[in-house]
A and B are shown apart, each in its own frame.
Chain A
Amino acid sequence: MARPPAWQASAPLANLRRRAEIVARIRCHFAAAGLLEVDTPQLCPATVTDPHLQSIEVAGYGYLQTSPEYAMKRLLAGGSGSIWQIAHVFRGNESGRRHNPEFSMLEWYRVGCTPEQLMAEVATIARLALGDVGCVSHRYRDLFRQHVGLDPLTCSTEALRQAAQARFDPAFDDADRDTWLELLMSQAIEPHLGRDELCFVIDYPPSQAALARLRSDRDGQPVAARFELYFRGVELANGYHELLDAGEQRRRFAADLQRRSELGLPAVPIDEEFLAAIDSGLPDCSGVALGLDRLVMLAVDASALQEVLSFPCRRG
Protein backbone atom coordinates (compact mmCIF):
# COMPACT_ATOMS: atom_id res chain seq x y z
CA MET A 1 0.00 0.00 0.00
CA ALA A 2 1.28 3.48 -0.84
CA ARG A 3 2.23 5.59 2.19
CA PRO A 4 0.41 8.90 2.52
CA PRO A 5 2.60 11.98 1.96
CA ALA A 6 4.66 12.97 5.01
CA TRP A 7 2.65 16.14 5.74
CA GLN A 8 -0.53 14.13 6.32
CA ALA A 9 -1.61 12.71 9.69
CA SER A 10 -0.17 9.32 10.53
CA ALA A 11 -3.46 8.21 12.15
CA PRO A 12 -6.58 7.66 10.03
CA LEU A 13 -9.26 10.30 10.74
CA ALA A 14 -11.58 7.60 12.08
CA ASN A 15 -9.05 6.89 14.86
CA LEU A 16 -8.74 10.59 15.69
CA ARG A 17 -12.54 10.80 15.99
CA ARG A 18 -12.54 7.76 18.27
CA ARG A 19 -9.85 9.39 20.37
CA ALA A 20 -11.93 12.56 20.76
CA GLU A 21 -14.93 10.46 21.77
CA ILE A 22 -12.92 8.61 24.45
CA VAL A 23 -11.51 11.88 25.83
CA ALA A 24 -15.05 13.33 25.99
CA ARG A 25 -16.24 10.31 27.98
CA ILE A 26 -13.30 10.57 30.37
CA ARG A 27 -13.99 14.29 30.90
CA CYS A 28 -17.65 13.47 31.60
CA HIS A 29 -16.66 10.81 34.13
CA PHE A 30 -14.42 13.12 36.16
CA ALA A 31 -16.86 16.03 35.97
CA ALA A 32 -19.63 13.78 37.34
CA ALA A 33 -17.28 12.46 40.03
CA GLY A 34 -16.49 16.02 41.12
CA LEU A 35 -12.71 15.96 40.51
CA LEU A 36 -11.03 19.26 39.68
CA GLU A 37 -9.40 19.35 36.25
CA VAL A 38 -5.97 21.00 36.48
CA ASP A 39 -3.30 22.06 34.02
CA THR A 40 0.30 22.03 35.27
CA PRO A 41 3.39 23.17 33.32
CA GLN A 42 5.31 20.94 30.94
CA LEU A 43 8.43 23.05 31.27
CA CYS A 44 9.94 23.13 34.79
CA PRO A 45 13.34 23.98 36.32
CA ALA A 46 13.65 20.52 37.97
CA THR A 47 12.74 17.00 36.89
CA VAL A 48 12.66 13.34 37.96
CA THR A 49 15.77 11.66 39.35
CA ASP A 50 14.75 8.15 38.15
CA PRO A 51 17.86 6.85 36.32
CA HIS A 52 15.66 5.04 33.80
CA LEU A 53 13.87 8.17 32.63
CA GLN A 54 15.61 10.63 30.35
CA SER A 55 14.23 14.15 30.65
CA ILE A 56 14.57 16.35 27.58
CA GLU A 57 16.49 19.47 28.56
CA VAL A 58 15.50 22.89 27.28
CA ALA A 59 18.49 25.21 27.43
CA GLY A 60 17.90 28.18 29.73
CA TYR A 61 14.58 26.88 31.07
CA GLY A 62 14.96 23.43 32.58
CA TYR A 63 13.26 20.25 31.47
CA LEU A 64 10.18 19.01 29.67
CA GLN A 65 8.28 16.97 32.26
CA THR A 66 8.26 13.17 32.11
CA SER A 67 5.05 13.20 34.20
CA PRO A 68 2.90 15.86 35.93
CA GLU A 69 3.24 14.01 39.24
CA TYR A 70 5.35 16.49 41.24
CA ALA A 71 3.25 19.50 40.22
CA MET A 72 0.00 17.67 40.99
CA LYS A 73 1.28 16.65 44.43
CA ARG A 74 2.13 20.29 45.14
CA LEU A 75 -1.50 21.11 44.41
CA LEU A 76 -2.66 18.24 46.64
CA ALA A 77 -0.44 19.45 49.51
CA GLY A 78 -1.95 22.91 49.00
CA GLY A 79 -5.45 21.55 49.64
CA SER A 80 -6.80 21.06 46.11
CA GLY A 81 -8.65 17.85 46.96
CA SER A 82 -8.91 15.13 44.26
CA ILE A 83 -7.59 16.32 40.88
CA TRP A 84 -7.08 15.05 37.34
CA GLN A 85 -5.60 16.10 34.00
CA ILE A 86 -4.54 14.93 30.58
CA ALA A 87 -0.94 16.11 30.17
CA HIS A 88 1.53 15.93 27.31
CA VAL A 89 4.72 14.40 28.73
CA PHE A 90 8.17 13.78 27.24
CA ARG A 91 10.71 10.99 27.56
CA GLY A 92 13.97 11.03 25.62
CA ASN A 93 15.06 7.98 23.64
CA GLU A 94 11.78 6.11 24.01
CA SER A 95 10.70 5.24 20.49
CA GLY A 96 8.98 2.16 19.18
CA ARG A 97 5.61 0.68 18.37
CA ARG A 98 4.36 1.42 21.90
CA HIS A 99 6.54 4.42 22.67
CA ASN A 100 6.66 7.95 21.36
CA PRO A 101 8.96 10.51 23.02
CA GLU A 102 5.94 12.82 23.45
CA PHE A 103 2.73 11.24 24.67
CA SER A 104 -0.49 11.94 26.55
CA MET A 105 -0.86 10.90 30.15
CA LEU A 106 -4.17 10.74 31.95
CA GLU A 107 -3.20 11.26 35.57
CA TRP A 108 -5.41 11.57 38.63
CA TYR A 109 -5.24 11.55 42.43
CA ARG A 110 -7.99 10.58 44.84
CA VAL A 111 -7.69 11.96 48.36
CA GLY A 112 -8.54 9.41 51.07
CA CYS A 113 -8.77 6.54 48.57
CA THR A 114 -7.13 3.13 48.92
CA PRO A 115 -5.29 1.64 45.92
CA GLU A 116 -8.10 -0.94 45.66
CA GLN A 117 -10.73 1.79 45.30
CA LEU A 118 -8.58 3.54 42.74
CA MET A 119 -8.06 0.32 40.76
CA ALA A 120 -11.83 -0.04 40.49
CA GLU A 121 -12.02 3.46 39.00
CA VAL A 122 -9.11 2.70 36.61
CA ALA A 123 -11.10 -0.31 35.34
CA THR A 124 -14.14 1.95 34.87
CA ILE A 125 -12.08 4.41 32.80
CA ALA A 126 -10.54 1.59 30.73
CA ARG A 127 -14.01 0.25 29.99
CA LEU A 128 -15.11 3.67 28.68
CA ALA A 129 -12.72 2.93 25.80
CA LEU A 130 -12.52 -0.87 25.65
CA GLY A 131 -16.13 -1.84 26.34
CA ASP A 132 -17.40 -4.29 28.89
CA VAL A 133 -14.30 -6.41 29.55
CA GLY A 134 -13.63 -8.51 32.65
CA CYS A 135 -10.97 -7.76 35.24
CA VAL A 136 -8.49 -9.81 37.29
CA SER A 137 -5.72 -8.98 39.71
CA HIS A 138 -2.48 -10.90 40.31
CA ARG A 139 0.36 -10.44 42.75
CA TYR A 140 3.75 -9.77 41.11
CA ARG A 141 5.09 -12.64 43.18
CA ASP A 142 2.50 -15.16 41.95
CA LEU A 143 3.07 -14.19 38.31
CA PHE A 144 6.80 -14.82 38.68
CA ARG A 145 6.19 -18.19 40.30
CA GLN A 146 3.79 -19.15 37.51
CA HIS A 147 5.77 -17.94 34.47
CA VAL A 148 9.38 -18.10 35.68
CA GLY A 149 9.24 -20.63 38.53
CA LEU A 150 11.01 -18.34 41.02
CA ASP A 151 9.93 -16.30 44.05
CA PRO A 152 11.06 -12.78 43.08
CA LEU A 153 10.99 -11.54 46.68
CA THR A 154 13.29 -14.20 48.13
CA CYS A 155 15.29 -15.98 45.35
CA SER A 156 18.95 -15.19 44.70
CA THR A 157 20.06 -12.71 42.04
CA GLU A 158 22.06 -15.57 40.49
CA ALA A 159 18.85 -17.61 40.05
CA LEU A 160 17.26 -14.65 38.26
CA ARG A 161 20.31 -14.26 36.01
CA GLN A 162 20.21 -17.95 35.06
CA ALA A 163 16.46 -17.83 34.39
CA ALA A 164 16.94 -14.82 32.10
CA GLN A 165 19.87 -16.42 30.27
CA ALA A 166 18.00 -19.69 29.79
CA ARG A 167 15.11 -17.89 28.08
CA PHE A 168 16.70 -15.00 26.23
CA ASP A 169 20.11 -14.14 24.94
CA PRO A 170 21.11 -11.07 26.93
CA ALA A 171 24.03 -9.16 25.43
CA PHE A 172 25.20 -8.49 29.02
CA ASP A 173 26.29 -10.69 31.95
CA ASP A 174 26.48 -8.17 34.63
CA ALA A 175 23.32 -6.54 35.91
CA ASP A 176 21.71 -5.74 39.22
CA ARG A 177 18.77 -7.62 40.71
CA ASP A 178 16.12 -5.20 39.45
CA THR A 179 17.44 -5.34 35.89
CA TRP A 180 17.04 -9.14 35.81
CA LEU A 181 13.57 -8.81 37.36
CA GLU A 182 12.61 -6.17 34.77
CA LEU A 183 13.99 -8.24 31.89
CA LEU A 184 11.96 -11.29 32.97
CA MET A 185 8.88 -9.19 33.71
CA SER A 186 8.92 -7.39 30.36
CA GLN A 187 9.72 -10.39 28.20
CA ALA A 188 8.58 -13.56 29.97
CA ILE A 189 5.48 -12.29 31.78
CA GLU A 190 4.00 -9.09 30.28
CA PRO A 191 3.14 -10.61 26.87
CA HIS A 192 0.80 -13.05 28.68
CA LEU A 193 -1.02 -10.45 30.78
CA GLY A 194 -4.58 -9.35 30.03
CA ARG A 195 -5.22 -11.56 27.01
CA ASP A 196 -9.01 -11.38 27.41
CA GLU A 197 -9.55 -9.11 30.37
CA LEU A 198 -8.04 -6.20 32.24
CA CYS A 199 -5.18 -7.49 34.36
CA PHE A 200 -3.87 -5.65 37.41
CA VAL A 201 -0.48 -6.56 38.84
CA ILE A 202 -0.09 -5.66 42.53
CA ASP A 203 2.48 -5.90 45.34
CA TYR A 204 5.72 -5.02 43.52
CA PRO A 205 9.14 -5.71 45.09
CA PRO A 206 10.07 -2.92 47.55
CA SER A 207 13.07 -1.98 45.35
CA GLN A 208 10.59 -0.99 42.61
CA ALA A 209 8.41 1.23 44.75
CA ALA A 210 9.32 4.54 43.05
CA LEU A 211 6.89 6.97 44.73
CA ALA A 212 4.73 4.35 46.44
CA ARG A 213 4.74 3.57 50.14
CA LEU A 214 5.69 0.09 51.42
CA ARG A 215 3.36 -2.34 53.12
CA SER A 216 3.30 -6.02 54.12
CA ASP A 217 1.64 -8.49 51.78
CA ARG A 218 -0.61 -11.25 53.14
CA ASP A 219 2.44 -13.47 53.76
CA GLY A 220 4.11 -10.74 55.80
CA GLN A 221 6.66 -9.86 53.08
CA PRO A 222 7.36 -6.17 52.54
CA VAL A 223 6.08 -5.03 49.13
CA ALA A 224 5.47 -1.74 47.34
CA ALA A 225 1.88 -0.43 47.40
CA ARG A 226 2.08 -0.06 43.63
CA PHE A 227 -0.11 -1.48 40.87
CA GLU A 228 0.05 -1.69 37.09
CA LEU A 229 -2.71 -2.36 34.58
CA TYR A 230 -2.20 -4.51 31.46
CA PHE A 231 -4.49 -5.29 28.57
CA ARG A 232 -3.49 -7.59 25.69
CA GLY A 233 0.10 -7.55 26.89
CA VAL A 234 0.27 -3.74 26.81
CA GLU A 235 1.11 -1.80 29.95
CA LEU A 236 -1.58 0.85 30.39
CA ALA A 237 -1.35 2.38 33.85
CA ASN A 238 0.84 2.64 36.93
CA GLY A 239 -0.56 3.60 40.34
CA TYR A 240 0.60 4.12 43.91
CA HIS A 241 -0.62 4.46 47.41
CA GLU A 242 1.39 7.67 47.57
CA LEU A 243 4.42 7.99 49.79
CA LEU A 244 3.84 10.74 52.41
CA ASP A 245 7.20 10.59 54.21
CA ALA A 246 9.42 13.45 52.99
CA GLY A 247 12.54 11.95 54.64
CA GLU A 248 12.02 8.65 52.83
CA GLN A 249 11.33 10.51 49.58
CA ARG A 250 14.59 12.44 49.97
CA ARG A 251 16.51 9.19 50.58
CA ARG A 252 15.03 7.66 47.39
CA PHE A 253 16.05 10.74 45.38
CA ALA A 254 19.57 10.56 46.78
CA ALA A 255 19.78 6.84 45.92
CA ASP A 256 18.62 7.67 42.35
CA LEU A 257 21.30 10.34 41.98
CA GLN A 258 23.94 7.93 43.31
CA ARG A 259 22.82 5.34 40.74
CA ARG A 260 22.86 8.00 38.00
CA SER A 261 26.45 8.82 38.77
CA GLU A 262 27.42 5.09 38.78
CA LEU A 263 25.81 4.70 35.36
CA GLY A 264 27.54 7.80 34.01
CA LEU A 265 24.21 9.59 33.50
CA PRO A 266 23.86 13.35 33.87
CA ALA A 267 22.95 14.58 37.35
CA VAL A 268 19.60 16.39 37.60
CA PRO A 269 18.55 18.98 40.16
CA ILE A 270 16.23 17.64 42.88
CA ASP A 271 12.81 19.26 42.87
CA GLU A 272 13.04 21.04 46.23
CA GLU A 273 9.60 22.61 45.91
CA PHE A 274 8.12 19.14 45.55
CA LEU A 275 9.97 17.96 48.66
CA ALA A 276 8.87 21.07 50.57
CA ALA A 277 5.26 20.31 49.60
CA ILE A 278 5.58 16.71 50.90
CA ASP A 279 7.19 18.12 54.06
CA SER A 280 4.26 20.42 54.65
CA GLY A 281 1.96 17.40 54.44
CA LEU A 282 0.49 15.52 51.51
CA PRO A 283 -2.99 14.21 52.31
CA ASP A 284 -3.39 10.43 52.31
CA CYS A 285 -4.11 9.65 48.65
CA SER A 286 -3.75 7.19 45.80
CA GLY A 287 -2.77 8.27 42.33
CA VAL A 288 -2.43 6.73 38.89
CA ALA A 289 -1.05 7.59 35.45
CA LEU A 290 -2.62 6.00 32.38
CA GLY A 291 -1.20 6.08 28.86
CA LEU A 292 -4.01 7.67 26.87
CA ASP A 293 -2.51 6.97 23.43
CA ARG A 294 -2.11 3.29 24.29
CA LEU A 295 -5.69 3.12 25.54
CA VAL A 296 -6.92 4.55 22.22
CA MET A 297 -4.60 2.18 20.35
CA LEU A 298 -6.22 -0.82 22.08
CA ALA A 299 -9.72 0.62 21.64
CA VAL A 300 -9.30 0.76 17.84
CA ASP A 301 -7.50 -2.59 17.77
CA ALA A 302 -4.28 -1.08 16.42
CA SER A 303 -0.85 -2.52 17.17
CA ALA A 304 1.23 0.67 17.04
CA LEU A 305 0.89 4.18 18.48
CA GLN A 306 1.57 5.62 15.01
CA GLU A 307 -1.97 4.52 14.10
CA VAL A 308 -3.55 6.77 16.74
CA LEU A 309 -1.17 9.76 16.92
CA SER A 310 -1.76 12.58 14.45
CA PHE A 311 1.94 13.34 14.06
CA PRO A 312 4.32 10.93 15.80
CA CYS A 313 7.75 12.24 16.71
CA ARG A 314 10.31 12.16 13.92
CA ARG A 315 13.91 12.87 14.75
CA GLY A 316 15.19 15.90 12.85
Chain B
Amino acid sequence: MATYSTNEFKSGLKVMLEGDPCTILENEFVKPGKGQAFNRVKLRNLKTNRVWEKTFKSGDSLEGADVIDRELQYLYSDGEFFHFMEPENFEQYQASSDTVGDAALWLREQDTCTVTLYNGAPLAVSPPNFVELEIVYTEPGIRGDTAQGGTKPARLSTGATVKVPLFVNEGEIIKCDTRSGEYVSRVKS
Protein backbone atom coordinates (compact mmCIF):
# COMPACT_ATOMS: atom_id res chain seq x y z
CA MET B 1 0.00 0.00 0.00
CA ALA B 2 1.23 3.52 -0.73
CA THR B 3 2.18 5.89 2.09
CA TYR B 4 0.87 9.44 2.31
CA SER B 5 2.67 12.42 3.79
CA THR B 6 0.79 15.03 5.86
CA ASN B 7 0.78 17.44 2.91
CA GLU B 8 -1.17 14.85 0.89
CA PHE B 9 -3.78 14.36 3.64
CA LYS B 10 -7.17 15.46 2.42
CA SER B 11 -10.74 14.79 3.32
CA GLY B 12 -11.77 11.26 2.35
CA LEU B 13 -8.25 9.76 2.22
CA LYS B 14 -8.14 6.33 3.93
CA VAL B 15 -5.09 5.68 6.11
CA MET B 16 -3.94 3.27 8.82
CA LEU B 17 -3.49 4.73 12.32
CA GLU B 18 -2.60 2.62 15.37
CA GLY B 19 -3.58 -0.50 13.45
CA ASP B 20 -7.05 0.68 12.46
CA PRO B 21 -8.35 1.96 9.12
CA CYS B 22 -9.40 5.62 9.30
CA THR B 23 -10.81 8.22 6.96
CA ILE B 24 -9.43 11.76 7.12
CA LEU B 25 -12.05 14.42 7.85
CA GLU B 26 -9.98 17.61 8.21
CA ASN B 27 -6.32 18.61 7.98
CA GLU B 28 -5.03 21.95 9.26
CA PHE B 29 -1.44 23.13 8.79
CA VAL B 30 -0.06 25.01 11.81
CA LYS B 31 3.39 26.43 12.31
CA PRO B 32 4.97 28.52 15.05
CA GLY B 33 7.02 31.51 13.86
CA LYS B 34 10.11 29.40 13.37
CA GLY B 35 10.75 25.70 13.71
CA GLN B 36 8.75 22.52 13.38
CA ALA B 37 5.41 22.72 11.54
CA PHE B 38 2.47 20.52 12.53
CA ASN B 39 -0.73 19.21 11.02
CA ARG B 40 -3.79 19.02 13.20
CA VAL B 41 -5.79 16.18 11.69
CA LYS B 42 -9.32 14.95 12.38
CA LEU B 43 -9.88 11.31 11.46
CA ARG B 44 -12.75 8.87 11.84
CA ASN B 45 -11.77 5.39 12.94
CA LEU B 46 -13.75 3.21 10.53
CA LYS B 47 -13.83 0.28 12.96
CA THR B 48 -15.18 2.12 15.99
CA ASN B 49 -16.63 5.19 14.23
CA ARG B 50 -14.85 7.32 16.87
CA VAL B 51 -13.45 10.68 15.75
CA TRP B 52 -9.78 11.26 16.63
CA GLU B 53 -7.97 14.57 16.71
CA LYS B 54 -4.27 13.92 16.23
CA THR B 55 -1.29 16.24 15.86
CA PHE B 56 1.39 15.17 13.35
CA LYS B 57 4.79 16.63 12.62
CA SER B 58 4.49 18.00 9.09
CA GLY B 59 6.15 15.65 6.66
CA ASP B 60 5.38 12.50 8.70
CA SER B 61 3.49 9.88 6.76
CA LEU B 62 0.91 7.15 7.23
CA GLU B 63 0.31 3.98 5.31
CA GLY B 64 -2.76 4.02 3.10
CA ALA B 65 -5.62 1.71 4.15
CA ASP B 66 -7.03 -0.83 1.71
CA VAL B 67 -10.57 0.48 2.08
CA ILE B 68 -13.05 0.77 -0.78
CA ASP B 69 -16.78 1.32 -1.07
CA ARG B 70 -18.66 -1.16 -3.29
CA GLU B 71 -22.26 -1.26 -4.42
CA LEU B 72 -23.38 -4.79 -3.54
CA GLN B 73 -26.69 -6.59 -3.67
CA TYR B 74 -28.03 -7.84 -0.33
CA LEU B 75 -28.97 -11.52 -0.72
CA TYR B 76 -30.13 -12.92 2.65
CA SER B 77 -29.30 -13.38 6.30
CA ASP B 78 -28.72 -16.86 7.75
CA GLY B 79 -29.19 -15.60 11.29
CA GLU B 80 -25.45 -15.29 11.92
CA PHE B 81 -24.15 -13.66 8.75
CA PHE B 82 -25.52 -11.29 6.14
CA HIS B 83 -24.67 -12.25 2.58
CA PHE B 84 -23.96 -9.78 -0.22
CA MET B 85 -23.10 -10.21 -3.89
CA GLU B 86 -21.21 -8.18 -6.45
CA PRO B 87 -23.74 -8.07 -9.33
CA GLU B 88 -21.04 -7.80 -12.01
CA ASN B 89 -19.07 -10.95 -11.21
CA PHE B 90 -21.35 -12.72 -8.68
CA GLU B 91 -18.58 -12.64 -6.06
CA GLN B 92 -20.08 -13.08 -2.60
CA TYR B 93 -19.20 -11.48 0.74
CA GLN B 94 -20.46 -12.25 4.24
CA ALA B 95 -20.73 -9.73 7.06
CA SER B 96 -21.43 -10.35 10.75
CA SER B 97 -24.43 -8.76 12.50
CA ASP B 98 -21.97 -6.47 14.34
CA THR B 99 -20.61 -5.20 11.04
CA VAL B 100 -24.05 -4.62 9.57
CA GLY B 101 -25.32 -2.96 12.76
CA ASP B 102 -28.47 -0.85 12.47
CA ALA B 103 -28.33 -1.02 8.68
CA ALA B 104 -30.00 -4.45 9.10
CA LEU B 105 -33.27 -2.70 9.97
CA TRP B 106 -33.51 -1.31 6.43
CA LEU B 107 -32.10 -4.13 4.29
CA ARG B 108 -34.53 -5.85 1.91
CA GLU B 109 -33.39 -8.84 -0.09
CA GLN B 110 -32.30 -7.91 -3.63
CA ASP B 111 -31.75 -4.23 -2.69
CA THR B 112 -28.40 -2.62 -3.49
CA CYS B 113 -26.42 -1.07 -0.63
CA THR B 114 -22.94 0.35 -0.05
CA VAL B 115 -20.54 -2.06 1.62
CA THR B 116 -17.17 -0.72 2.79
CA LEU B 117 -14.52 -3.39 2.28
CA TYR B 118 -11.31 -3.38 4.33
CA ASN B 119 -8.63 -5.78 3.06
CA GLY B 120 -11.41 -7.36 1.00
CA ALA B 121 -13.80 -8.03 3.93
CA PRO B 122 -16.90 -6.01 4.87
CA LEU B 123 -16.17 -3.32 7.47
CA ALA B 124 -19.43 -1.38 7.36
CA VAL B 125 -22.76 -1.46 5.54
CA SER B 126 -24.84 1.58 4.57
CA PRO B 127 -28.40 1.09 3.32
CA PRO B 128 -29.61 3.23 0.38
CA ASN B 129 -30.55 6.77 1.52
CA PHE B 130 -34.18 6.09 0.59
CA VAL B 131 -35.98 2.75 0.80
CA GLU B 132 -39.55 1.70 -0.03
CA LEU B 133 -40.88 -0.84 2.47
CA GLU B 134 -44.18 -2.43 3.44
CA ILE B 135 -45.89 -1.72 6.76
CA VAL B 136 -46.49 -5.05 8.49
CA TYR B 137 -48.15 -3.64 11.59
CA THR B 138 -49.73 -0.37 12.68
CA GLU B 139 -52.89 0.67 14.59
CA PRO B 140 -55.83 1.17 12.23
CA GLY B 141 -56.06 4.67 10.78
CA ILE B 142 -58.77 7.12 11.76
CA ARG B 143 -60.90 7.97 8.74
CA GLY B 144 -61.00 11.63 7.75
CA ASP B 145 -58.15 12.52 10.08
CA THR B 146 -55.77 13.59 7.29
CA ALA B 147 -55.07 17.16 8.29
CA GLN B 148 -54.32 16.89 11.98
CA GLY B 149 -50.66 15.98 11.65
CA GLY B 150 -50.67 13.34 14.39
CA THR B 151 -48.38 10.29 14.11
CA LYS B 152 -48.32 6.64 15.22
CA PRO B 153 -45.65 3.94 15.14
CA ALA B 154 -45.53 1.51 12.20
CA ARG B 155 -43.39 -1.64 11.96
CA LEU B 156 -41.86 -2.33 8.55
CA SER B 157 -41.12 -5.63 6.82
CA THR B 158 -37.40 -5.32 7.54
CA GLY B 159 -37.85 -4.71 11.29
CA ALA B 160 -37.52 -0.93 11.51
CA THR B 161 -40.21 1.08 13.30
CA VAL B 162 -41.00 4.57 11.98
CA LYS B 163 -43.51 7.25 12.90
CA VAL B 164 -46.18 7.59 10.20
CA PRO B 165 -49.21 9.88 9.79
CA LEU B 166 -52.47 8.56 11.23
CA PHE B 167 -54.02 7.98 7.80
CA VAL B 168 -51.38 5.43 6.69
CA ASN B 169 -52.46 1.79 6.95
CA GLU B 170 -51.04 -1.69 7.40
CA GLY B 171 -50.08 -3.33 4.09
CA GLU B 172 -49.18 -0.02 2.43
CA ILE B 173 -45.73 0.68 0.98
CA ILE B 174 -43.99 3.79 2.31
CA LYS B 175 -40.80 5.64 1.43
CA CYS B 176 -38.36 6.29 4.30
CA ASP B 177 -35.10 8.21 4.71
CA THR B 178 -32.67 5.74 6.33
CA ARG B 179 -30.28 8.48 7.52
CA SER B 180 -32.88 10.10 9.78
CA GLY B 181 -35.15 7.05 10.15
CA GLU B 182 -38.11 9.16 9.08
CA TYR B 183 -41.21 8.58 6.98
CA VAL B 184 -41.16 10.52 3.69
CA SER B 185 -44.33 9.59 1.76
CA ARG B 186 -46.79 6.90 0.73
CA VAL B 187 -45.87 4.98 -2.41
CA LYS B 188 -48.74 4.29 -4.81
CA SER B 189 -48.74 0.60 -5.63
Q: How far is the CA of A313 from the CA of B28 in the complex (A)?
A: 16
Contact B55 A52 (CB under 8 A): no
- Contact of B19 with A by CB under 8 A: no
Contact A171 B60 (CB under 8 A): yes
Q: A94 contacts which of B28, B31, B54, B60 (Cβ < 8 Å)?
A: B31
- Contact of A40 with B by CB under 8 A: no
Q: B30 contacts which of A96, A179, A210 (Cβ < 8 Å)?
A: A96
Given A169-B53, A169-B54, A182 contacting B59 (CB threshold 8 A): no
Selected interface stretch from A81-89, A150-158, A185-193? A185-193
Which B-chain residue is minimally distant from A179 (CB atoms)?
Answer: B36
Residues on the B chain within 8 Å of A169, using CB: 52-55
Contact B32 A235 (CB under 8 A): yes
Q: A235 contacts which of B17, B33, B40, B57 (Cβ < 8 Å)?
A: B33
Contact B52 A97 (CB under 8 A): no
Residues on the A chain within 8 Å of B52, using CB: 169
Contact A187 B38 (CB under 8 A): yes
Residues on the B chain within 8 Å of A171, using CB: 17, 41, 54-56, 60
- Contact of A162 with B by CB under 8 A: no
- Contact of B7 with A by CB under 8 A: yes
Q: How far is the CA of A168 from the CA of B58 in the complex (A)?
A: 16
For chain A, what secondary structure do more than half of its interface residues adopt (helix, strand, loop), or is it mixed? mixed
- Contact of A208 with B by CB under 8 A: yes
Contact A182 B60 (CB under 8 A): no
User: How many residues belonging to B are interface residues under a CB distance threshold of 8 Å?
Assistant: 24
Contact B7 A178 (CB under 8 A): no
Residues on the A chain within 8 Å of B56, using CB: 170-172
Residues on the A chain within 8 Å of B58, using CB: 93
Residues on the B chain within 8 Å of A96, using CB: 28-30
Contact A183 B34 (CB under 8 A): no
Shortest C-beta distance, A77 to chain B (Å), equals 23
Residues on the A chain within 8 Å of B57, using CB: 172, 175, 179
Contact A99 B29 (CB under 8 A): yes
Residues on the A chain within 8 Å of B33, using CB: 228, 235, 238
Contact A170 B54 (CB under 8 A): yes
Shortest C-beta distance, A146 to chain B (Å), equals 17
- Contact of B149 with A by CB under 8 A: no
User: How many residues belonging to A are interface residues under a CB distance threshold of 8 Å?
Assistant: 27
Which B-chain residue is minimally distant from A167 (CB atoms)?
Answer: B55
Q: A93 contacts which of B41, B53, B59 (Cβ < 8 Å)?
A: B59
Contact A52 B37 (CB under 8 A): yes
Q: B37 contacts which of A94, A97, A175 (Cβ < 8 Å)?
A: A94
Q: How far is the CA of A50 from the CA of B41 in the complex (A)?
A: 25
- Contact of A95 with B by CB under 8 A: yes
- Contact of B144 with A by CB under 8 A: no
- Contact of B35 with A by CB under 8 A: yes
Q: In chain B between 125 and 175, which residues have their CB closer than 8 angstroms to a CB of chain A?
A: none
Residues on the B chain within 8 Å of A183, using CB: 36, 38, 55
Given A97-B28, A99-B29, A171-B17, A238 contacting B34 (CB threshold 8 A): yes
Q: B32 contacts which of A50, A95, A168, A190 (Cβ < 8 Å)?
A: A190
Residues on the A chain within 8 Å of B28, using CB: 96-97
Residues on the B chain within 8 Å of A172, using CB: 56-57, 60
Shortest C-beta distance, A166 to chain B (Å), equals 13
Residues on the A chain within 8 Å of B7, using CB: 93, 95
Contact B60 A186 (CB under 8 A): no
The residues of B with any CB-CB pair to A shorter than 8 Å are: 7, 17, 28-38, 40-41, 52-60
15 A-B residue pairs with Cβ-Cβ distance under 8 Å, sorted by A, are A52-B34, A94-B29, A95-B7, A97-B28, A169-B52, A170-B55, A171-B41, A171-B55, A182-B36, A182-B38, A183-B38, A183-B55, A186-B32, A208-B35, A238-B34
Sorted from nearest, which 8 A-B pairs have the closest CB atoms?
A: A96-B29, A186-B32, A182-B35, A171-B54, A228-B33, A182-B36, A171-B56, A93-B7
Besides A93-B7, A170-B56, 9 more A-B contacts (Cβ < 8 Å) are A50-B34, A52-B35, A96-B29, A170-B55, A178-B35, A179-B57, A183-B36, A187-B38, A238-B34
The residues of A with any CB-CB pair to B shorter than 8 Å are: 50, 52, 93-97, 99, 168-172, 175, 178-179, 182-183, 185-187, 190, 208, 210, 228, 235, 238
